[in-house]
C-alpha cells in the first residue's frame, strides 16, 4: 500500500511564518494597555471637577391663586368677529368678540367685553359664521399678577435634605415638558408639627404659568405633576465611587 508522506516544510516552518513570529509587535500592541490606563486616569481626574445636581423628587399640585374668567356664549349663536389676539393683555370693558343669535337671522350682533383685566387665552379656533352651541367656551382671561400655589408631598427620609430657597423644577402631567417646557420656582415654606411630621411644603413659581419654553400654560384648576428639588451639587467622582464621601 502506498504511504503518503507529510512534507517537512509545513506552514509552521516556512520562512514567512518565522518572519511574522520574529517581528516586533506594533506600537499600539506594546503600549495599548498603558494608553488605556492613561485615558481612565484622565477621566477619573475630570470626574473630580464635573458636578451634577443632587435632587429630591416629589409629587406636587399647582393651584392657581386667582380663578380665571371663562367666557362662553349663553345661547346658540353664529360667530362674527374676534376683536383681540391670543395672549393680548386686556383692560376691563375691552370689546373682545362679536356674535349673533342663531335662532334669528335679523338679531342684532352682540359684543362681549372683558369683565376683568388680564391676559387673554383663546380656547378654540374661531371662524367667521361658525355655529356655536349654547355654553361653548370661547376664551379665558387669566388675572394679572397671578400667583400660583405649589404644594409638594415630601417623604420624611428626604426632609433633612430640603430647605427654603432651594430651586424647584416642575413637570406637569397635562403639559409634557418636551413640548411645553417646565415650570421653575423655589421652596417657599416648610411647616412641621411639634413631633417633626411634615404638615406642608410649598413653593412659589418664578414666572407664574410661563414655562421654560416661554409658553403661557393655561391652568384652569389644580394641576398634578412631579417636582425635582435641587438640594445641592455633587462631583461626578462621588457618583462613580459612592464610598468616597462628599467633603
Q: Let me know whether 236 and 136 are in one domain.
A: no
Q: Let me know whether 156 and 139 are in one domain.
A: no
Give strand pairing partners of 82: 97
Lowest mean pLDDT among 8-17, 71-80, 124-133: 8-17
pLDDT reported for residue 49 = 56
Residues 181-196: what's their mean pLDDT? 87
Q: Let me know whether 155 and 230 are in one domain.
A: yes
Q: Let me know whether 108 and 131 are in one domain.
A: yes
* DSSP symbol at 149: E
Q: Is 245 exposed, middle or buried (0-12, 13-18, 19+ CB in 10 A)?
A: exposed
Q: Let me know whether 59 and 73 are in one domain.
A: no
235 is a domain residue: yes
Pairing of strands 149-153, 95-101: unpaired
Q: What 3-state DSSP class applies to 208?
A: coil
Residue 188, CA atoms < 13 Å, CB-side half-sphere: 14
Asked if the model's pLDDT at residue 81 lies above 80, the reply is: yes
Write the pLDDT tens digit of every residue in 125-162: 999 999 999 999 999 998 876 678 899 988 877 788 88
25 is a domain residue: yes
Phi-psi region at 224: left, alpha or beta (left = phi > 0; alpha = psi -120 to 50): beta
189 is a domain residue: yes
Residues 115/90, Cβ–Cβ less than 8 Å: no
Q: How far apart are CA 200 and CA 191, in angstroms?
A: 5
Asked if the model's pLDDT at residue 32 lies above 50, the reply is: yes
8 is a domain residue: no
Structural domain including 94 reads 69-143
At residue 243 the predicted structure's pLDDT band, cuts being 50, 70 and 90, is: very low
Phi-psi region at 161: left, alpha or beta (left = phi > 0; alpha = psi -120 to 50): alpha
Q: Let me know whether 158 and 231 are in one domain.
A: yes
Give the total number of structural domains in the chain: 3
Q: Let me know whether 37 and 158 are in one domain.
A: no
CATH number of 231's domain: 2.40.30.170
3 is a domain residue: no
Q: How far apart are CA 57 and CA 104, in angstroms?
A: 57
Q: Let me know whether 222 and 128 are in one domain.
A: no
Return the residue matching grid coordinates 375691552.
94
Q: How far apart are CA 28 and CA 31, in angstroms?
A: 5
Instruction: Tell me which residue of 169, 166, 168, 183 sits closest to 218, measured CA to CA.
Output: 183
Amino acid at each position: 500500500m502506498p504511504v503518503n508522506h507529510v512534507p517537512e516544510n509545513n506552514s509552521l516552518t516556512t520562512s514567512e511564518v518565522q518572519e511574522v513570529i520574529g517581528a516586533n509587535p506594533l506600537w499600539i500592541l506594546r503600549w495599548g494597555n498603558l494608553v488605556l490606563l492613561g485615558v481612565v486616569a484622565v477621566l477619573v481626574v475630570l470626574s473630580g471637577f464635573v458636578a451634577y445636581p443632587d435632587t429630591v423628587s416629589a409629587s406636587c399640585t399647582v393651584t392657581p391663586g386667582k380663578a380665571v374668567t371663562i367666557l362662553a356664549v349663553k345661547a346658540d349663536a353664529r360667530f362674527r368677529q374676534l376683536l383681540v389676539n391670543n395672549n393680548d393683555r386686556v383692560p376691563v370693558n375691552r370689546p373682545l368678540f362679536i356674535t349673533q343669535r342663531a335662532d334669528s337671522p335679523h338679531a342684532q350682533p352682540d359684543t362681549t367685553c372683558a369683565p376683568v383685566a388680564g391676559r387673554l387665552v383663546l380656547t378654540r379656533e374661531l371662524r367667521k359664521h361658525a355655529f356655536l352651541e349654547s355654553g361653548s367656551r370661547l376664551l379665558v382671561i387669566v388675572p394679572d399678577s397671578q400667583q400660583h400655589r405649589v404644594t409638594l408631598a415630601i417623604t420624611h427620609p428626604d426632609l433633612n435634605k430640603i430647605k427654603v430657597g432651594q430651586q424647584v423644577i416642575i413637570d406637569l402631567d397635562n403639559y409634557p415638558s418636551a413640548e411645553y417646557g417646565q415650570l421653575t420656582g423655589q421652596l417657599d415654606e416648610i411647616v412641621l408639627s411639634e413631633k417633626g411630621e411634615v404638615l406642608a411644603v410649598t413653593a412659589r413659581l418664578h414666572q407664574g404659568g410661563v414655562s421654560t419654553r416661554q409658553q403661557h400654560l393655561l391652568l384652569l384648576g389644580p394641576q398634578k405633576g412631579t417636582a425635582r428639588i435641587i438640594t445641592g451639587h455633587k462631583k461626578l467622582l462621588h457618583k462613580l465611587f459612592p464610598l468616597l464621601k462628599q467633603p
